[in-house]
Chain A
Amino acid sequence: MTAGPVPILAEGLTKTYGGFTAVDGIDLEVRRGEAFGVLGANGAGKSSTMRMIACVSPVTAGSLRILGRDSATDGAAIRARLGVVPQDDTIDGELTVRENLLIYGRYFGLSWKVLRERSARLLEFARLEDKAGDAVGTLSGGMRRRLTIARALINEPEIVLLDEPTTGLDPQARHLLWERLHRLKQDGVTLLLTTHYMDEAEQLCDRLVVMDAGRIVASGTPAELIARHTSREVLELKFAADERQVMIDKCRGLAERMEELPYRLLLYTDDGEETLAAVNARGVRPRTALIRRSTLEDVFLTLTGRSLVD
């Protein structure tokens, strides 16, 4: 489905707090039905961007149109058609699980009759049927997140914004969430999500941008980004602490690019085997050596010189 206005269109989008610029003139275009990712380390400006798109935080400069409407003048009408999953769970602690869904739907002006039916369906979607009457304080982190997502769907939104949806969750809870997000996408919902997990971006996103210090430093599909910004393969070496520096010095010049991380040395190369042979030929004896394909993590490292999760 490509008809209708562009879901999200931002030009020169800027956010400043006092004198500090958190989002520095970014351009974004999110297409209908796609899952779009914003990748960046802490403080990159992801949440500030999401909050502007959610029309909860005013735009400092630039233009932002959502579903064809101007965010500055049509905030309420836009919010009526969005689902928002903020970075920190903001579940109503004074209400039960089901009441959270019901009252949130009332804020959209939905009738009780519609809400009773939808909340039952969403409790099932979030696998929280057994918890419906419980206080939200008794929920685990994964359950709270699923409730927040279920809540964001109460108005059957056309776009769902998810700010770090799986941060702090255990692997099992993350996989369950990813599966639910895939289902949403299949249903035709446009997803915009931020993350600092590479695997999440690769799993979920059709296209993404990499943000650093309030700017977009790269954009494209995951495959395009990898092809454009990093080599095909990576040779990862680990050394014993005492000989680490000597070994690293010996490796210089063996690969197109080299990245020193606290516990690993990364050599970017198009042929990992060949580079490993060259490393061994120089008398470098790593404790472990691993050849793998490049990932978005490597793209991020290349672009920003920092790893995503510190």
Chain B
Amino acid sequence: MTVTANPPVRPRHGRPWTMVERNLMIYRHTWPVILAEIFEPLLYLLAFGLGIGALVGHVPGLRGDVPYPEFVAPALLATAAMNGAMNETTFNLYAKLTTDRTYESILTTPMSVRSVALGEVSWALLRGTLVSTAFLAVVSAFGLVHTPAALLVVPSALLIGFTFASTGLLVVTFLRSWQDFQLIQLVMLPMFLFATTFFPLNVYPRPIQVFIEALPLYHGIELTRAAFLGTTSAHLAVAVAYLALLGTAALTWAVHRLERTLRD
């Protein structure tokens, strides 16, 4: 061991990417869990798309009539992107913040709280891209994809992932105990059920429509559905802006709050 005062290798400052490397290192041992994440939306597609699809047939109003499985598939993908990202930055992150205290040692290095936060969000995005790409591949193998525009669901899922990973990061800074995860479920489940995942917006009375239009998942589904079906509308710009803004605001606030708790 020689430890010199002039290290031959000049250390550079820690960057967000190293958090992704850490997660990849762990996933080398535990990669099958990602299969479960791809499997879940497929299961919903099978149960609802085929099951309910057999009853309702087509959903009127969008680009002519859309077969029900093609109506739910992009929504399930948006939901999977949301859940994957949220799980990563709420459930997994809460464990790292409390029981594992993972960040304590990381923050003794040149890594900043911001780098750690950006890194964890990036990792959630990487995972989300993997899941949404795999999902897209499977549904196109089932013959549900009819337009090359469907490839745009991947960047759409990425944006949804960003919004919800950042929101999750903010939410996790407010959690007091594991019990609080039930409160998250209390918000997430209704959002999943009502944000036009299974029914188009026009089945609801107007006051409820307004409420649904405020949900971030609604905008996410609008994006993936438009890409999947190859439709466009002016609303897509609103959806992109809404998701990007919400994600950026949440991330900024989350970093600020984490800074206070992790550097006490």
A-facing residues in B16-58 (Cβ within 8 Å): 18, 21-22, 25-26
A-facing residues in B107-164 (Cβ within 8 Å): 107-112
Q: Tell me the bound Cα distance from A99 to B111 in angstroms.
A: 18
Secondary structure call for the B interface: loop
- Check A107–B3 contact: CB distance below 8 A: no
Report A2 CB to chain B, min CB distance, Å: 12
B256 at interface by CB-CB < 8 Å: no
**Which among B2, B11, B15, B21 is the interface contact of A80 at CB below 8 angstroms?**
B11
Q: Mark A66-92, 1 if CB is under 8 A from B, else 0.
A: 000000000011011110101010111
Number of interface residues of A (CB under 8 A): 46
**Which among A4, A88, A111, A188 is the interface contact of B3 at CB below 8 angstroms?**
A188
A104 at interface by CB-CB < 8 Å: yes
- Check A156–B100 contact: CB distance below 8 A: no
- Check B3–A103 contact: CB distance below 8 A: no
B206 at interface by CB-CB < 8 Å: no
Q: Tell me the bound Cα distance from A111 to B8 in angstroms.
A: 12
Interfacial chain A residues near B11, Cβ < 8 Å: 80-81, 108-110, 155
**Which among B3, B13, B14, B105 is the interface contact of A153 at CB below 8 angstroms?**
B3
Q: Tell me the bound Cα distance from A161 to B107 in angstroms.
A: 14
**Which among B1, B9, B105 is the interface contact of A91 at CB below 8 angstroms?**
B105
- Check A106–B18 contact: CB distance below 8 A: yes
B104 at interface by CB-CB < 8 Å: yes
Q: Tell me the bound Cα distance from A29 to B14 in angstroms.
A: 29
A262 at interface by CB-CB < 8 Å: no
A223 at interface by CB-CB < 8 Å: no
Contact (A109, B15) CB under 8 Å given A77-B110, A86-B108, A157-B3: yes
- Check A90–B101 contact: CB distance below 8 A: yes
- Check A189–B18 contact: CB distance below 8 A: no
Q: Tell me the bound Cα distance from A104 to B250 in angstroms.
A: 28
Q: Which of the four size classes fits the interface of chain B?
A: 20 to 34
- Check B110–A79 contact: CB distance below 8 A: yes
- Check A188–B5 contact: CB distance below 8 A: yes
Contact (A57, B1) CB under 8 Å given A91-B105, A92-B105, A108-B14: no
Secondary structure call for the A interface: loop
B252 at interface by CB-CB < 8 Å: no
- Check B263–A56 contact: CB distance below 8 A: yes
Minimal Cβ-Cβ distance residue in B for A151: B105
Q: Tell me the bound Cα distance from A17 to B107 in angstroms.
A: 20
**Which among B12, B15, B100, B109 is the interface contact of A79 at CB below 8 angstroms?**
B109
Interfacial chain B residues near A58, Cβ < 8 Å: 263
Interfacial chain B residues near A103, Cβ < 8 Å: 18, 21-22, 25
Minimal Cβ-Cβ distance residue in A for B99: A93
Interfacial residues, chain B to chain A (CB-CB below 8 A): 1-5, 7, 9, 11-15, 18, 21-22, 25-26, 100-102, 104-112, 263-264
- A92-B105, A184-B3 given. 19 additional CB < 8 A pairs? A54-B108, A57-B263, A57-B264, A58-B263, A76-B14, A76-B110, A77-B110, A80-B11, A90-B101, A91-B105, A92-B100, A103-B18, A104-B105, A106-B18, A107-B110, A108-B14, A109-B110, A158-B5, A188-B5
